[in-house]
């Protein structure tokens, strides 16, 4: 997949020169609703013998258009989004830097400079896709164009509820992890690097890997989770328990920084500096403050046993699992 990073105005050498079917959207989360867009993109490209392209944006438009409610954390930061797009066998990915200058582009100029000049013959986007200054452009306008065809993808639902990035973010923040994973169509994941922590866990029999996220990820609700973690280049999967939070038993919650700590089962290797991916399987309980080490350790043992059971259901007897 060729990735074309564009800062407005788009340069002549950045245009796609082959005829393409192109999907448009921000696509944070690459969830089941987005998967429908890419399915239709594939159908349209195959039917018309076109290359497949995607146009997306970075950062989120709210950073420019609505600073009070700006979205600066993501389900899939841009590098994750690109990686998932590659799995759809996309030929071209245009990443538009959504800047103040780009926000001033009129709907008419967007159509001419970003659609027609990119040899787009089929446009595919969700029903709520808008473009151009003040969001004046929409799919109804595109449907009237004669230079290309347009396909509107209707809202996708689970249990009569619309699948949306906003809803998935809300579910993660409220501990409804299963609901979030159902809408995503895969287990939520956070990539990062194992860094030095306080090393307190090893003194109480629960050594943990302190995971520093590699991007601006949406963090799940503070609490304890059953997780699996992929480590290093060999991509071996290990099971464990993760805590997201400020460790209130040891720190003042108002001053402590939220961290991700993962205790892997039956694992004793030194993995500082390793790149890892944490897969979030089950929410176990909220983070709470304990009156001392003993009740904390007692609860951690209970968390571990519950996580082992739940993950055994997920994995069966497999040692490694392609999530």
Inside any domain, residue 128: yes
Q: Are 249 and 259 in contact (CB under 8 A)?
A: no
One domain for residues 42 and 86: yes
Query: Taking a C-beta distance cutoff of 8 angstroms, is the pair 73, 218 a contact?
Result: yes
Distances (CA, A) of 233 to 193, 268, 274: 13, 18, 9
On whether both 106 and 47 belong to a single domain, the answer is: yes
Q: What is the pLDDT of residues 130-185, one digit of tens each?
A: 999 999 999 999 999 999 999 999 999 999 999 999 999 999 999 999 999 999 99
218 in the same domain as 138: no
Confidence of residue 202 (pLDDT cuts 50, 70, 90): low
The residue among 231, 154, 163 whose CA lies nearest residue 191 is 231
Question: Can you give the pLDDT at residue 197?
Answer: 75
Give yes or no: residues 71 and 141 share one domain: yes
In whole angstroms, give the CA distance from residue 241 to residue 264.
7
The strand pair at 92-97 and 137-138 is best described as unpaired
For residues 253 and 259, is the Cβ–Cβ distance under 8 A? no
Looking at the fold, whether 128 and 237 belong to one and the same domain comes out as no
Domain assignment present for residue 251? The answer is yes
C-alpha distances out from residue 211 to 114, 118, 191, 271, 275, Å: 39, 41, 8, 11, 9
Instruction: Say whether pTM exceeds 0.95.
Output: no
CA R_g for the chain: 22
Range of the domain at 71: 2-162
Digit-coded pLDDT (tens) for 49-69: 999 999 999 999 999 999 888
- Same domain as 296, residue 246: yes
The pLDDT score that the predictor gives to residue 292 is 78
Assess whether 197 and 137 both reside in one domain: no
- pLDDT category at 248 given cuts 50, 70, 90 is low
Same domain for 126 and 11: yes
């Amino acid at each position: 997949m060729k990735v074309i990073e564009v800062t407005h105005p788009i340069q002549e050498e950045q245009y796609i020169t082959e005829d393409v079917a192109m999907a448009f959207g921000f696509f944070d989360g690459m969830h089941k609703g987005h998967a429908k867009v890419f399915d239709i993109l594939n159908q349209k490209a195959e039917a018309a013998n076109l290359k497949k392209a995607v146009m997306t944006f970075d950062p989120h438009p709210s950073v420019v258009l609505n600073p009070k409610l700006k979205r600066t954390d993501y389900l899939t930061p841009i590098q994750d989004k690109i990686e998932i797009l590659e799995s759809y066998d996309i030929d071209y990915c245009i990443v538009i830097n959504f800047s103040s200058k780009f926000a001033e582009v009129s709907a008419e100029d967007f159509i001419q400079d970003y659609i027609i000049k990119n040899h787009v013959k089929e446009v595919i986007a969700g029903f709520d896709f808008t473009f151009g200054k003040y969001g004046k452009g929409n799919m109804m306008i595109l449907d009237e164009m004669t230079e290309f065809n347009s396909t509107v993808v209707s809202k996708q639902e689970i249990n009569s509820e619309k699948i949306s990035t906003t809803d998935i973010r809300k579910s993660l923040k409220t501990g409804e992890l299963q609901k979030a994973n159902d809408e995503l169509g895969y287990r939520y994941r956070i990539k990062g690097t194992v860094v030095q922590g306080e090393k307190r866990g090893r003194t109480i029999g629960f050594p943990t890997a302190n995971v520093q996220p590699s991007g601006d990820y949406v963090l799940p609700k503070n609490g304890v989770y059953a997780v699996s973690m992929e480590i290093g280049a060999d991509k071996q999967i290990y099971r464990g328990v993760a805590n997201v939070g400020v460790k209130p038993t040891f720190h003042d919650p108002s001053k402590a920084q939220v961290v991700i700590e993962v205790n892997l089962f039956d694992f004793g290797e030194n993995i500082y500096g390793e790149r890892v991916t944490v897969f979030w399987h089950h929410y176990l309980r909220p983070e709470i403050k304990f009156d001392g080490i003993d009740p904390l350790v007692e609860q951690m043992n209970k968390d571990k046993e519950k996580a082992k059971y739940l993950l055994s259901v997920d994995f069966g007897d497999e040692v490694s699992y392609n999530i």
